Amino acid sequence: MSTFLMILVVAAALATLFVLVKGVIGMAQGKDVTGQRSQALMRKRVMFQAVAIIFVILFIMVARGSGS
């Protein structure tokens, strides 16, 4: 179970990194005049970060439970 949760943590972190890089590249190109795309990417990044944090918390809970 902890291996599966660790894979989910890594996947969520990579998804966060991907969206972050995509947003930085978009801002550097300056094509998004209205900022709607930047806002959408920021919302996705925050969502992926929240999911990653939840998975980390679950991982810690499982690791503590199996250690006792």
Task: Read off the pLDDT of residues 13-29 as tens digits, 9 standing for 90 and up.
Answer: 999 999 999 999 988 88
Token pair of 41 as six digits: 């990417």
Interval 52-62: pLDDT, tens: 999 999 999 99
The C-alpha atoms of residue 10 and residue 56 are separated, in whole angstroms, by 10
Domain holding 54, by residue range, is 2-67
Domain count, the chain: 1
Short-list 61, 55, 64, CA closest to 6: 55
